[in-house]
Amino acid sequence: MVDTVNRVHLLGLDFVSAANHHEFLDELTHYRDILAYQNLSKLPFVITPNADQIVKLDQLDTLKQSLTQCLFILPDGQPIVWFSRWVGKRLKSRLTGSDLFPLIWQSAKQHQQRILIIVSDEQLGIKLKQDYDNILYYTPPFFNPQKEIELFTQVCAEVIAQIKEFNPYYVIVGIGFPKQELLSLAVHAHLVEKQITSPLFLLLGASAEFYVGTKKRAPLFLQKMGLEWLHRFSQEPRRLWKRYILGSVRLLRLFIKYYSRS
């Protein structure tokens, strides 16, 4: 299959540009037919950077360089879409991981495809298993991939063993940025080294929590206005004030830097 998905190069990444998820869903769900997957020229990853992650990636050069090779990069943050219009590289729409999750989940259920889902909470895994039996969930211990090398290696080994035994079509990873990215990259590198066919890794953060209802998304009108962050901030102001207040300043500086290059 020739990859026909429209992409826009922005902020150092090739973002999918589509009016909605359905425009590229068929290619995503049939990822094994895509030439770039077959010849290993792209990472079989779906990532959904938001504004906060874009700022952090700008400070993590090695990680960003790896993620530039992802098969699907979706613009999750509305500020990314606004910036694309500012520089004349228009992205059609915001494409969130939270909206993608139920589409992938229902497609997998329809075709009885196996999913390995890595989540940070045991109860979340149980709820997902109740919703769709043909999954395997894994709740790793809390780990710092950059400091707790031995524990990180152990978690990688456990995920690799589960992939070998369960042979999932998808691996959904929802343990937060950048842990989910670093874990997925390490696991995929091992699969390539051992010449094991890789599933598609979907790095979707808290999307599973929104799906089962343990976390509530912003009202639809706030989502459409690009103000979903305001709802999250109102829920956890003490924890998120640095991300959204200080982060907005860093994001503006980053936009100015890239605008000056364009």
Domain count, the chain: 2
Model pLDDT for residues 195-220, shown as the tens digit of each residue: 999 999 999 999 999 999 987 776 77
Spell out the residues 6+ positions from residue 219 whose beta carbon is closer than 8 angstroms to its own.
Answer: 231
pLDDT greater than 90 at residue 237: no
User: pLDDT-based confidence at 249, cuts 50/70/90?
Assistant: confident
- pLDDT of the residue at 262: 63
* Residue 113, in any domain of the structure: yes
Distance separating alpha carbons of residues 256 and 186, to the nearest angstrom: 33
Are residues 250 and 184 part of one domain?
A: no
Report residue 251's pLDDT band, with 50, 70 and 90 as the boundaries. confident
Q: Evaluate if residue 232 carries a pLDDT over 70.
A: no
For residues 161 and 182, membership in a common domain is answered with yes
In a domain, 134, yes or no: yes
Angle at 56 between CA 52 and CA 58, to 5 degrees: 120
Q: Pairing relation of β-strands 13-16 and 7-10?
A: antiparallel
In this structure, are 77 and 201 located in the same domain? yes
Are residue 253 and residue 190 in the same domain, yes or no?
no
Q: Please report whether residue 249 resides in a domain.
A: yes
208 in the same domain as 119: yes
Residue 2 lies in a domain: no
Residues 206 and 243 in one domain: no
Pair (68, 170) in one structural domain: yes
Q: How confident is the model at residue 39 (pLDDT cuts 50, 70, 90)?
A: very high
Quick one: 74 and 191 in the same domain? yes
Q: Is 72 in the same domain as 176?
A: yes
Q: How many CB atoms lie within 10 A of CB 233?
A: 16
Per-residue pLDDT, averaged over 4-29, amounts to: 96
What is the mean predicted confidence (pLDDT) over 232-253? 68
Same structural domain for residues 239 and 139? no
Evaluate whether residue 182 is within a structural domain: yes
72, part of any domain: yes
What's the confidence (pLDDT) of residue 131? 97
CB of 77 within 8 A of CB of 94? yes
The answer to whether residues 55 and 11 belong to one domain is yes
Quickly state the pLDDT bin for 147 (edges 50, 70, 90).
Answer: confident
Domain extent at residue 77? 7-212
Mark whether 47 and 103 lie in a shared domain. Answer: yes
Task: Give the whole-number percent of the chain exceeding pLDDT 70.
Answer: 89
Q: How far apart are CA 62 and CA 213, in angstroms?
A: 35
- Is the residue at 1 inside a domain? no
Q: How confident is the model at residue 229 (pLDDT cuts 50, 70, 90)?
A: low
Question: DSSP assignment, residue 33?
Answer: G
